[in-house]
Structure 1
Amino acid sequence: MRHQLSFACEGASLAASIDEAPGTTGLLIISGGNEIRSGAHRGMAILAQKVADAGYPVFRFDRRGIGDSEGANGGYTASAPDIAAAIAAFRQAAPGLTRIAAFGNCDAASALLLHQPLALDALILANPWTYDDDCSDEDGQHEPALPPASAIRARYLARLKDPKSLLRLLKGEIDVRKLLRGLSALGKSAPPAVPDSLAARLDAAFAKLACPATILLATGDRTAQAFIETCQPADVKVERLDSPSHSFAGKDAEWLADRILAILAA
């Protein structure tokens, strides 16, 4: 059964939802971007119900300044007190918990990494955000302004293998100068992350993980592609889905739920 509740965080009242279940392992869902706790197209609410139906209690919340919560929105980089308060509220609402895993997509995944150590037993990090700029769209979703170089290279390689593209080239319908600039990038490797950049800070966080972590990547998503290109986490399990869906929408939601349930059951 789903209940609405609230909890305090540095003088602000934060809105939350808990999907009750008998299990002693729970899932804490951290919202990405400026999303409310239900997620894009209610994706996180649907995920919570599936996980709870499998026997695991689930806790979601709106961080300060988002949705039904009070306070100022400081973004994901200032969300450490919100997450810590949510963990405590989850334990109070479900006193039988002995283990909590946290799931975050996009900058919520980055927040879970940056704000370690937290009182968590496992991290599930989907399509972590590595860009230093903030490109949230009107739905609160992060979207980089340009695809990473790896995505550009992959696109040019695909075009070179496409007979229709070759025919367009022969007909003079393709800008040869742009093509040559793209081809020049094919053999170049990605530069190392700049010190103090978000990507470098995430790599440092991976190196000192306080609990086991699993990375989930939709390999056709720009954010995931940028993570692959700029971060090199060692000794961290990575699972990949051939999909462009940043939020694991549609049929990809089943894959996401299955991965999360497997981690909760471990």
Structure 2
Amino acid sequence: MRRHLAFPCGADTLVGTLDMEAATGPAAILLVSGGREVRAGSWGGQAQIAARLAAAGIPVLRYDRRGIGESEGTDPSFLNTRDDLAAALSALRTTVPTLRRVIAFGNCDAAAALMLHGAELALDGLVLANPWTLETDEAQAAPPEALRRRYLAKLANPREVLRLLTGGVNLAKLARGLKQAASNAPKSSLVEAMAANLARFPGPVTILLASGDRTAQMFEAVWPAADPRIQRHASSGHSFAGEDAQDWLFERLLEAVR
């Protein structure tokens, strides 16, 4: 069953969608959209996985943050979405009063927002996919470690080597990229804030990375590689597109809830 909700966030009204079957368990998922993406997700992916989770007895609330989709107000950007998260969490608990646990799941800058604000909310767990690590909404440059991996992959590809040997590569651009790849990753106040606030979160945390995704690679370049909370999938899809990747994501969410 899918129903639409409207709930307050300060002076504005947010709109959300609750997927829930008649028989549900004691835990739910608050699904947070990333970027300026509406709650259905890219190609309807969030709506699809919400329906699948609901069929497994797990209620899922998705919502549009302020200024996005059907919700009122001005978009505060992912850095300032604490009030939106709190409003959605309150709406979920009010609508499904039998809940004992709520796990929040976010991809990209939604994951970053949960890392920044999750410790301030009554959440019982976090699932963070491909967290965004840049303080702006657009990537201007990749961290050096991510660039090094990219260039190594290109050098292992015979087609890319042939392009280089036959003049198909812009050498000036290549030189700039190699110089950046040889440098050290700059310190990021955002990453430091994400790490500090995540350390304050009292519940379990799972970090999911699509190894071929550029955003995931940028995250790995500035995050401890040995973090035991990290789980990786070989997908290159930022939203874990493809049946195999979607099945893997679904199983990880089930594990987090149960």
Q: Could you state the TM-score of these two structures normalised by the residue count of structure 2?
A: 0.88
Among 126, 142, 146, which residue is 1:151 paired with?
Answer: 146
Which residue is equivalent to 1:131?
Answer: 134
- How far the C-alpha of 1:147 sits from its partner, in A, is 3.6
The equivalent of 1:228 in structure 2 is: 220
Cα RMSD for the two superposed structures: 2.3
Question: 1:110-125 maps to which residues of 2 (within 5 A)?
Answer: 110-115=112-117, 116-125=119-128
Shift of 1:191: 2.9
Shift in CA distance, 243/10, structure 1 to aligned 2, threshold 3 Å: same
How far the C-alpha of 1:119 sits from its partner, in A, is 0.5
In structure 2, how many angstroms separate the alpha carbons of the residues matched to 1:62 and 1:108? 12
Deviates more, 1:214-223 or 1:161-170: 161-170
The alpha-carbon deviation at position 122 of structure 1 amounts to 0.3
2:81: which partner in 1? 79
Percent identity, aligned pairs only? Answer: 46
Please give the TM-score of this superposition, normalised by the length of structure 1: 0.86
Contact 2:14-2:70 at 8 Å conserved across structures = yes
Q: Does structure 2 conserve the Cα–Cα contact (< 8 Å) formed by 1:109 and 1:127? A: yes
Note if contact 1:76-1:107 (Cα within 8 Å) is conserved in structure 2: yes
Aligned residues: 254
| 3-state DSSP of counterpart to 1:46 | helix
- Superposed counterparts of 1:93-242, under 5 Å: 93-115=95-117, 116-135=119-138, 144-166=139-161, 188=182, 190-191=184-185, 193-194=187-188, 197-232=189-224, 236-242=228-234
Residues 26-45 of structure 1: matches in 2 within 5 Å? 26-45=28-47
Contact between 1:203 and 1:232, CA under 8 Å: does it hold in 2?
A: no
1:111-131 deviation per Cα after TM superposition (whole angstroms, max 9, x unaligned): 111112210000000011100
Shift of 1:162: 3.8
**C-alpha distance in 2 between matches for 1:157 and 1:167:** 15
Q: How many angstroms apart in 2 are the aligned matches of 1:12 and 1:178?
A: 46
Could you say if the C-alpha distance between residues 258 and 193 of structure 1 is closer, same or farther in structure 2, counting changes exceeding 3 Å? same
State the alpha-carbon separation in 1 of the partners of residues 251 and 41 from structure 2.
18
Higher helix share: 2
Looking at structure 1, the residues matched to 165 and 225 of structure 2 have their Cα atoms a distance apart, in angstroms, of 43
Measured after TM superposition, the shift of residue 69 of structure 1 is 1.2
Unaligned runs of 5+ in 2: none
